[in-house]
Structure 1
Amino acid sequence: MPVWIRFSYKGLKFLVDSKVGDLYPFIDVFIRRFYDSVEIRSDSIIVDVGAHVGFFTVKAATKAKKGIVIAIEPHPENFRKLLINIKLNNLNNVIPLNLALWDRQGTLKLYNFNLSGIYSVVYPGRQFTLVKANTLDNVLKSLGIDQVDLVKIDVEGAELKVLKGATASLKRRIRSLILEAHSSYAVFSVAKLLKKYNFKVSTLLIPQYTFRRFVRGENLLALLKFEIIDHITRWVEKKTLLRDMTVFVKRTFLAEQQAENKRGEYCVMATKMGGE
């Protein structure tokens, strides 16, 4: 049975599953502040591609109270938690969509790497889930969205495919992007395509991290207010909670560090220049 963890951070509330790496994207968004370099106004229109369980979605939607956040997440279980976290934070400016973005419409195999932060349609694994796929151009057209202030992309190797399905939007709808890439070749390919559509591109190599460099499990727990809930919503004593969460956070970081050491990590930022 999964152990459900409910926690709050700076007034925001989240529910995650302790059996998977749900907390690592939290570290990216709130501790490492991977996306803080982009501007989010109160009326911004934002697309969160690879929304996971909603950490960036919730943070962005809280800032863009008069705007819209389109949260796109293909994995069914992550999407369920995304919906819960949207509801927990009383957000009515989020449009959640349960699908993958690709360069064409169809069905894809979403491979499972046993950590919910590492589901991929590019990197193969033993287990997979069939998911619906569409293009960003089709999604924005169907929603009647004519302008997007920011597109955030975290899709574990599928960045170029997502962008190839957004060529019409890159021409006239999208003002800026921020995305994660896992190799210098991926960065080169993404930058080449974006420059074709008159985007100014900058790249930041994120240093490979260690668990100790960013935050120890004990210190992370001190930042957050945790509650653990089992399948019958029975509360666990605080001492047991801290012990279990410390082990969970350490294991999550160890597994994620091993994955990142294989591929590297880059942040690509792009801003539309004048004209098309």
Structure 2
Amino acid sequence: MLEIGAHIGTQTLQFAESGLFRKVISVEPVPDNLEALSHNVKINGLEETVTIVPCAIGEEPGTASMYFDTFNSGGHSLREPEGETGAQSVQVEVLDVARLLSTRANVPASDVGCLWIDAEGFEFEILRSVLNAGIRDALFNVEFTPRFYGERKKAEFIAFLETNFSSLHVVSDGRLVPARFDELFSAANHQDIVLVN
């Protein structure tokens, strides 16, 4: 299981305790969130199952500004807030997925069978990095947030999904509902989607 955007570990603990995954690789770049994530993994005795990697994910390695959401510790983003000048940020390391797997997690791409991606508007870039790393035959749970994308990027993202994935389901009232890719054009501000490639 590769979890990108682990926050403080709410989903991490569920993944690790489910018995479905031998290993959970949890990626989180924000220092305060990392501290809480590490604490939660440790007090639940899950250090053997969970590998925490302190970085953000992108298409190229380097560093980037992580902008803080002052109201929601799960809302920090590499996307600069629109209309805000002087937003607080911190520099974070950015890795592409191939480098993350080979240098930090020591896991081949072929071993990744499930992904959870919650990245506050950077899902498109992350999915490109995931596919460039050679991850195939996996189940992807992705937060689709069109309010962050704008119309052009949303259209490009949907075309990318339709080209690279064989099926789409949306999460509705806790159930998986089959959907067509073009239905994402009318998605609300936030939609959890499940993809298979």
TM-score (norm 2): 0.77
Query: Could you report, residue by residue, the CA deviation over 1:9-42 in whole angstroms, capped at 9, with x for unpaired residues?
Result: xxxxxxxxxxxxxxxxxxxxxxxxxxxxxxxxxx
- Aligned-pair Cα RMSD in Å: 2.2
Match of 2:32 in 1: 77
Q: Which runs of 4+ in 1 moved over 6 A?
A: none
Larger of the two Rg values belongs to structure:
1
Is contact 2:56–2:95 with CA below 8 Å preserved after alignment? yes
Question: What's 1:141 paired with?
Answer: 102
Offset at residue 140 of structure 1 (A): 1.8
1:205 and 1:121, CA in 2 relative to 1: closer, same or farther beyond 3 A? Answer: farther
| Aligned-partner Cα distance in 2 for 1:268–1:101 | 19
CA distance in structure 1 between the partners assigned to 2:159 and 2:101 by the alignment: 23
Which runs of structure 2 are paired with 1:190-229 in the superposition (5 Å)?
Answer: 190-204=157-171
Counterparts of residues 1-276 of structure 1 (less than 5 Å): 46-64=1-19, 67-91=22-46, 92-114=48-70, 115-124=72-81, 126-142=87-103, 143-145=106-108, 146-169=110-133, 171-183=134-146, 185=151, 188-204=155-171, 264-272=189-197
Q: CA deviation at 1:79?
A: 0.5
Q: Which consecutive unaligned segments of at least 5 residues does structure 1 have?
A: 1-45, 207-262
CA contact (8 A) 1:151 1:174 kept: no
Alpha carbons 2:15, 2:21 under 8 Å: kept: no
The 1-side partners of 2:155 and 2:111 are apart by: 26
Q: Which runs of 5+ in 2 are unaligned?
A: 174-187
3-state SS of the aligned residue for 2:111? Answer: coil
Q: TM-score, normalised by structure 1?
A: 0.56
**Higher RCO by CA contacts (8 Å cutoff, separation 6 or greater):** 1
AA partner of residue 117 (structure 2): I
Determine helix, strand or coil for the equivalent of 1:82.
helix
Contact 1:181 1:265 in 2 (8 A): yes
Distance 1:122 1:188, change over 3 A: same
Give the number of aligned pairs.
170
Change (3 A) 1:150 1:187: farther
